[in-house]
Amino acid sequence: MEEFKIYLSGKFITSNTEIEVINPYTNKAFARTWLCDESIIEQAIQDAENVISELAKMPVYKRYNILMLIASELEAQKKEAALLISRESGKPLIFARGEIDRAIQTFIVAAEETKRLPGEYISIDWTPAGEGKEAYVKYFPIGIVAGIAPFNFPINLAAHKIAPAIAAGCPIIIKPASSTPLSVLNLAKIIDKTDLPKGAISILPANRTIGDKLVSDQRIKLLTFTGSPEVGWEMKNRAGKKKVILELGGNAGLIVTETADIEKAIQKSVIAGFAYSGQVCIHTQRIIVHKSIFEKFTKLFCKNTNLLKTGNPENENTQISVMIDEKNAKRVEEWVNEAANSGAKVLCGGKRTGSMYEPTVLTNTNNLMKVCAFEIFGPVVTIEVYENFNEAIDYINNSRFGLQAGVFTNKISEMNFAFEHLELGGVIINDTPTFRVDHMPYGGIKDSGLGREGVKYAIKDMMEEKILVKPKL
Give the integer Cα–Cα distance in Å for 102 and 160.
10
pLDDT attached to residue 1: 87
- Would you give the end-to-end CA distance of the chain in angstroms? 67
Contact 285, 375 (CB under 8 A): yes
Per residue in 290-305, pLDDT (tens digit) is 999 999 999 999 999 9
Give the integer Cα–Cα distance in Å for 99 and 78.
10
Which amino acid, one-letter code, is at 16? N
Share the mean pLDDT of the chain: 97
Give the integer Cα–Cα distance in Å for 142 and 243.
9
Which amino acid, one-letter code, is at 49? E
H or E, element range at 376: none
The answer to whether 73 is a known catalytic residue is: no
Q: What is the three-class DSSP state of 14?
A: coil
Kindly give the interhelix angle for 78-89 and 93-113, rounded to the nearest 10 degrees. Answer: 120
Q: How far is CA 108 from the centre of its chain?
A: 18
pLDDT attached to residue 281: 95
pLDDT attached to residue 140: 98
How would you label 350-381 residue by residue, b for 16+ Cβ within 10 Å and e otherwise? bebeebbbbbbbbbbbeeebbbbbbbbbbbbb
Low-confidence ranges of the chain (pLDDT < 70): none
Give the integer Cα–Cα distance in Å for 318 and 95.
10
pLDDT attached to residue 233: 97
DSSP output for 106-146? HHHHHHHHGGG--EEEEE-TTSGGGTTEEEEEEEEE--EEE
Kindly give the interhelix angle for 93-113 and 156-168, rounded to the nearest 10 degrees. Answer: 10
Full set of structural domains in the chain with CATH: 2-248+449-471 (3.40.605.10), 253-437 (3.40.309.10)
Tell me which of 73, 88, 99, 281 is the catalytic residue: 281
Q: What is the three-class DSSP state of 373?
A: helix
Contact 136, 142 (CB under 8 A): no
Give the integer Cα–Cα distance in Å for 397 and 442.
18
- Nearest Cα neighbor of 172 from 414, 468, 461, 467 is 461
The answer to whether 281 is a known catalytic residue is: yes
Tell me which of 73, 88, 99, 247 is the catalytic residue: 247
pLDDT attached to residue 10: 97
Give the integer Cα–Cα distance in Å for 461 and 453.
9
For residue 206, give Cα distances in angstroms to 19, 37, 52, 253: 10, 7, 24, 34
Give the integer Cα–Cα distance in Å for 464 and 312.
47
Give the integer Cα–Cα distance in Å for 423 and 410.
21
H or E, element range at 296: helix 294-306
Q: Count other Cβ atoms within 10 Å, centred on residue 396.
A: 26
Give the integer Cα–Cα distance in Å for 123 and 410.
44
Give the pairing of strands 6-8 and 11-13.
antiparallel
What are phi and psi for residue 3, nearest 5 degrees? -110, 140
H or E, element range at 71: helix 60-76
Q: What is the three-class DSSP state of 412?
A: helix
Give the integer Cα–Cα distance in Å for 95 and 107.
19
Give the integer Cα–Cα distance in Å for 5 and 40.
13
pLDDT attached to residue 473: 84
8-state DSSP, 369: S
The reply to whether the predicted model has a pTM over 0.95 is yes
Task: Name the percent of the chain in helix, strand, coil, to the closest 5.
Answer: 40, 25, 35
